A and B are shown apart, each in its own frame.
Chain A
Amino acid sequence: MYNYALYLLAIIFLMVSYKKDKKKTKMALKKAWKSFENIIPQFLTILAFLGMVLALLNPEVISHLLGQKAGWQGLIIASIIGSITLIPGFIAFPVAAILLKNGAGFAQIAVFVSTLMMVGIVTLPLEIKCFGKKISTMRNTFAYLFSFIVALVIGVVLG
């Protein structure tokens, strides 16, 4: 659904642009291809790596690691898994909900969800390519630490 809307939007804008200025439209397509081609290698590597990690670490394994151990150990494990893996939200949230039902703590789930979304070890090479080492490392480190603050607050309020 969202895909089709994006395609429709791109086609409409392309047509409008083409009508207004053919040369500019050509340049836009050239730029689009150049930036696309630029990220393909990293992109393929990331997705292939993610496939392997997900194949090895199935939901049962993740659930076992987080469900059995509470406290700081569980928090650290949850944050490490969240930082490395790159699971899309529509898979991660249901998994998180199942973990909660199986006895994982709110704080562990909060740190897992937060690092999952904000910290990306696997995507770090791509981020460095755009922003450089210093900024990328800082952003990920701050986001990692921040995830623990979120976890503590959610743990205190809901736990």
Chain B
Amino acid sequence: MKIIFKRYLGFIIILGLNIILLIINRKIGLRSISISGSNILEMAKILPPIFVLLGLMDVWTPRETMEKIMGEKSGLIGILIAFFLGSLAAGPLYAAFPIAIILIKKGAKFSNILIFIGAWSTTKVPMFLFETASLGWRFSVIRLIMSIFGVITIGYMIELFISKKEKENLYNKARLM
């Protein structure tokens, strides 16, 4: 009980704040509850199949295959696959983190994982199509091209700043999750 309370403390605090907001300004309070509620419902609908697929991926993808296509020696192919996986995805950035953990578990190269996260955050194909529709193709294409370089650069820069030991810790921690 105490552990459950501690884990949900953040959520309970936000709920409390929301009740205070409701007392101060009924209209904004109600709007906040309705936005949160519909967002939670929306995500609750998307998450179950994603996690089932994740579980299956975890059990069925052999580590050797993953290591080969995204591991230390995967080179350009590994980068392309990381981009491909991240760009095809839909869903918010936080859904990418659990998937990244599985990739770490399966021995993907660290910079490729960062590229995957970067691609998921900013070069998603469905989002790009939507961006062109609302902001124009010139805006979107410039942003896309820059983002591709940016994502790779950020990936390699972070890898540069992380020591071998820190990386090992991360990989060991992922194995336990």
Q: Which residues of A contact B (CB under 8 A)?
A: 2-3, 6-7, 9-11, 13-14, 17, 24-25, 27-33, 35-36, 38-39, 41-52, 54-56, 86, 88-90, 93-94, 96-97, 100, 106, 109-110, 113-114, 117-118, 120, 123, 125-127, 129-132, 134-135, 138-139, 142-143, 146, 149-150, 153-154, 157-158
Contacts and interface: CB of A to CB of B under 8 A. Distances in A.
Given A32-B51, A153-B142, 11 more contacts: A28-B56, A36-B48, A42-B10, A54-B35, A55-B29, A118-B122, A135-B158, A135-B162, A139-B114, A143-B154, A153-B146
A97 B49 contact: no
Interface string B92-111: 11100110110000000000
Interface of B: 7-8, 10-11, 14-15, 17-18, 21, 28-29, 31-37, 39-40, 43, 45-56, 58-60, 90, 92-94, 97-98, 100-101, 114, 117-118, 121-122, 124, 127, 130-131, 133-135, 138-139, 142-143, 146-147, 150, 153-154, 157-158, 161-162, 166, 169-170, 173, 177
B5 to A, nearest CB: 10
A51 B150 contact: no
B154 A139 contact: yes
Contact of A90 (B48, B101, B130): B130
B35 to A, nearest CB: 4
Given A51-B33, A142-B154, A142-B157, A114 B14 contact: no
Contact of A49 (B14, B29, B37, B131): B14
